[in-house]
């Protein structure tokens, strides 16, 4: 396993003089702050299922919810507490006796109690003095401790609080019995350097473990959490998929993988389960994971650019910092506009086709051209598209062996005209022209070809499938033709259904004729 701190000179040098912990504790708040994501509301059954998965994942603490908030919340938390999971179960409570009583009644192992300390919250929200807030915090902590329950104390909006006062609050909290203090960056205003400074200052005076709870308002939640750990924080709050109020919280998968793969710091997380739990949480919260989300996003290990795909195929680490399997993901080579030949060759190999053996270089070049053309239309080229293109290119009778070739086709259709097609076919050395009307453009085109060829070859069956969605989808036409005692089924694919139909029919005719005279 790669640990960048040990292998990368720049990272190694930057961390000189910093004493990193061996192990960091993961406090998961997906079921509390994560559920505060606007619009998200989990049923007790969903919360229970997620809690079991979080335990399976190996988080140290599950903040199962805010018990006083509703009866359903209490039902879920009680049930989670009764499951005897390995993780400690925590409930959130304001520094209010009623909240604490309800949490105790749920049977939680730890109560996370909090009160805001910043001037803004003191003045406008709580309307309380500094002293009053300290006293409320002390009373709450002592009350919880009287019940023999572990206390985690948070000074809400800590990072916008006067530092001397914050230190005083935390010191008094520890004196009152807080087992761990949590430092919330409630509106995500910290920068990594400031977080480092704050935690280092607190570490000088606070002798219980320090935890951080970083919000992502400026996209810095993970960076700030890591900085706090560099400064000595022992626990970090995070959520699956970075869910949480506003811009969310520090994403568990990003924090854990950074700790493990960059810093070489252990957690208890079974990283191979990260993708699976991310999907489960996304399903129940109905919050889609953005494709470019680190670690668990669909594109986290996907490569379309030719240069990247070539590099990855030669050695995965060229364009992947960690192997996808480490987080339960799979590498994906995506074909499209930016694809290069190495990626297409690899994709064909996956489909059991080898260039030079199963297909010629010319056919390969044609496949590359067709894939790029599809990509140019803004399409993501799926495996099914590739298969259709390959069948189309490879399955066709070679140009030199063709008896019949399409020289020209013109089709006219509309609401006030009868669909009409005229074709010019090159039959051996002659040009044969004909036209026909039909119920639609495809019907007219096929009939015009039939007329040029004569009655000896008949169209028996015709099917069309749209491979990808959209009006510009690649369409696959499958036809069965009968003639000269033979029955042939052929396919052709094109974004234009008339062309796909004509190509399939002409290819079928060539297969039937196989160099037979038809004049």
The residue ranges that bind ligand KIV (CB under 6 A) are 33, 114, 154, 156, 182, 184, 186, 213, 215
Closest CB to ligand ACO among 108 and 381? 108
Type and span of the H or E element at 237: strand 235-238
**Residue 97 Cβ vs ligand ACO, minimum distance, rounded to whole Å:** 10
Scan residues 94-133 and list those touching ligand ACO (CB under 6 A): 94-96, 114-115, 125-126
Torsion, Cα 299 303 304 305, to 10 degrees, reads: 130
**Residue 87 Cβ vs ligand KIV, minimum distance, rounded to whole Å:** 18
Type and span of the H or E element at 222: helix 221-230
Find the part of the chain contacting ligand ACO (CB under 6 A) among 93-101, 192-200, 407-415, 454-462. Answer: 93-101
Q: Please report the DSSP string for 457-478 in residue order.
A: EEEEEEEEEE-SSSTT--EEEE
Find the part of the chain contacting ligand ACO (CB under 6 A) among 19-27, 90-98, 417-425, 490-498. Answer: 90-98
d(CA 26, CA 238): 7
Is 437 buried (19+), middle (13-18) or exposed (0-12) by CB count in 10 A? middle
d(CA 403, CA 393): 17
Scan residues 38-77 and list those touching ligand ACO (CB under 6 A): 66, 68-69
Q: Which of 4, 15, 36, 384 binds ligand ACO (CB under 6 A)?
A: 36
**C-alpha angle 184-187-190 in degrees, rounded to nearest 5:** 70
> Is the Cβ–Cβ distance between 456 and 432 less than 8 Å?
no
Residue 490 binds which one of ligand ACO, ligand KIV, none, with CB within 5 to 8 A depending on kind? none
3 binds ligand ACO (CB under 6 A): no
Scan residues 472-491 and list those touching ligand ACO (CB under 6 A): none
Scan residues 153-182 and list those touching ligand ACO (CB under 6 A): 156
**Residue 176 Cβ vs ligand ACO, minimum distance, rounded to whole Å:** 15
**Residue 294 Cβ vs ligand ACO, minimum distance, rounded to whole Å:** 24
**Residue 183 Cβ vs ligand ACO, minimum distance, rounded to whole Å:** 13
Q: Residue holding tokens 């079921």?
A: 31
Is 146 buried (19+), middle (13-18) or exposed (0-12) by CB count in 10 A? exposed
Residue facing ligand KIV at closest CB distance: 184
DSSP state of 35: G
Scan residues 183-242 and list those touching ligand ACO (CB under 6 A): 186
Residue 126 binds which one of ligand KIV, ligand ACO, none, with CB within 5 to 8 A depending on kind? ligand ACO
Question: Tokens for 134?
Answer: 């300290």
**Residue 223 Cβ vs ligand ACO, minimum distance, rounded to whole Å:** 20
Closest CB to ligand ACO among 41 and 82? 41
**Residue 152 Cβ vs ligand KIV, minimum distance, rounded to whole Å:** 9
Closest CB to ligand KIV among 89 and 478? 89
Locate the DSSP E strands across 59-173: 61-65, 88-94, 110-116, 150-156
Find the part of the chain contacting ligand ACO (CB under 6 A) among 92-100, 200-208, 223-231, 345-353. Answer: 92-100
Q: Please report the DSSP string for 332-384 in residue order.
A: EE-BSTT--HHHHHHHHHHTT--BTTTB-HHHHHHHHHHHHHHHHTTPPBPHH
**Residue 247 Cβ vs ligand ACO, minimum distance, rounded to whole Å:** 13
> Is the Cβ–Cβ distance between 125 and 114 less than 8 Å?
no
The radius of gyration computed from the CA coordinates of the chain, to the nearest angstrom, equals: 33
Closest CB to ligand ACO among 93 and 474? 93
Residue 95 binds which one of ligand KIV, ligand ACO, none, with CB within 5 to 8 A depending on kind? ligand ACO
Question: Tokens for 191?
Answer: 């920068």
**Residue 157 Cβ vs ligand ACO, minimum distance, rounded to whole Å:** 8
Strands 110-116 and 88-94 turn out to be parallel
Residue 66 binds which one of ligand KIV, ligand ACO, none, with CB within 5 to 8 A depending on kind? ligand ACO
Scan residues 329-388 and list those touching ligand ACO (CB under 6 A): none
Phi, psi of 423 (to 5 degrees): -130, 155
Residue 213 binds which one of ligand ACO, ligand KIV, none, with CB within 5 to 8 A depending on kind? ligand KIV
**Residue 42 Cβ vs ligand ACO, minimum distance, rounded to whole Å:** 13
Q: Answer left, alpha or beta for residue 148, where phi above 0 means left and psi between -120 and 50 means alpha.
A: left
**Residue 65 Cβ vs ligand ACO, minimum distance, rounded to whole Å:** 9
Residues near ligand ACO (CB under 6 A): 33, 36, 66, 68-69, 94-96, 114-115, 125-126, 156, 186, 245
């Amino acid at each position: 396993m790669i640990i960048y701190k040990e292998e990368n000179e720049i990272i190694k040098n930057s961390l000189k003089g910093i004493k990193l912990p061996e192990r960091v504790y993961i406090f998961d708040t997906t079921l509390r702050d994560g559920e505060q994501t606007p619009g998200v509301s989990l049923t007790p059954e969903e919360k229970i299922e997620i809690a079991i998965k979080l335990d399976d994942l190996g988080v140290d603490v599950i903040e199962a919810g805010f018990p006083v908030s509703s009866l359903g919340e209490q039902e879920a938390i009680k049930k989670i507490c009764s499951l005897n999971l390995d993780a400690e179960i925590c409930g959130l409570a304001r520094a209010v006796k009623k909240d604490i009583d309800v949490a105790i009644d749920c049977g939680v192992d730890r109560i996370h109690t909090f009160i805001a300390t910043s001037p803004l919250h003191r003045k406008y929200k709580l309307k309380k003095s500094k002293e009053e807030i300290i006293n409320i915090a002390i009373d709450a902590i002592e009350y919880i401790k009287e019940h023999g329950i572990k206390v985690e104390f948070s000074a809400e909006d800590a990072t916008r609080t006067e530092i001397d006062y914050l230190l005083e609050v935390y010191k008094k909290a520890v004196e009152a019995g807080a087992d761990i203090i949590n430092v919330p960056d409630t509106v995500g205003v910290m920068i990594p350097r400031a977080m480092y400074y704050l935690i280092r200052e607190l570490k000088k005076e606070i002798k219980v473990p320090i935890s951080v709870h970083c919000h992502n308002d400026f996209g810095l939640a993970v960076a700030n959490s890591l900085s706090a750990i560099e400064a000595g924080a022992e626990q970090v709050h995070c959520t699956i998929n970075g869910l949480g109020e506003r811009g969310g919280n520090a994403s568990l998968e990003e924090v854990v993988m950074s700790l493990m793969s960059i810093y070489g710091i252990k957690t208890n997380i079974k990283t191979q389960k990260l993708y699976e739990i991310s999907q489960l949480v996304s399903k129940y919260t109905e919050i889609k994971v953005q494709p470019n989300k680190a670690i668990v996003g669909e594109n986290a290990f996907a490569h379309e650019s030719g240069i990247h795909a070539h590099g990855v195929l030669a050695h995965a680490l060229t364009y992947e910092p960690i192997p996808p399997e480490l987080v339960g993901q799979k590498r994906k080579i995506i074909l499209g506009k930016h694809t290069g030949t190495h990626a297409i060759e690899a994709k064909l190999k996956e489909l059991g086709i080898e260039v030079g053996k199963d297909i010629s270089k010319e056919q390969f070049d044609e496949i590359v051209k067709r894939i790029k053309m599809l990509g140019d239309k803004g399409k993501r080229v799926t495996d099914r598209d590739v298969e259709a293109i390959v069948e189309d290119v490879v399955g066709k009778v070679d140009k030199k062996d063709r008896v019949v070739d399409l020289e020209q086709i013109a089709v006219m259709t509309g609401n006030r005209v009868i669909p009409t097609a005229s074709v010019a076919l090159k039959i051996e050395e002659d040009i044969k022209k004909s036209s026909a009307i039909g119920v639609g453009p495809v019907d007219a085109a096929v009939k015009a070809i039939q007329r040029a060829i004569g009655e000896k070859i008949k169209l028996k069956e015709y099917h069309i499938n749209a491979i990808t969605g959209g009006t510009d989808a690649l369409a696959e036409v499958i036809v069965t033709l009968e003639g000269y005692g033979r029955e042939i089924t052929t396919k052709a694919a094109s974004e234009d259904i008339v062309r796909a139909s004509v190509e399939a029919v002409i290819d079928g005719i060539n297969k039937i004729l196989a160099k037979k005279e038809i004049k």
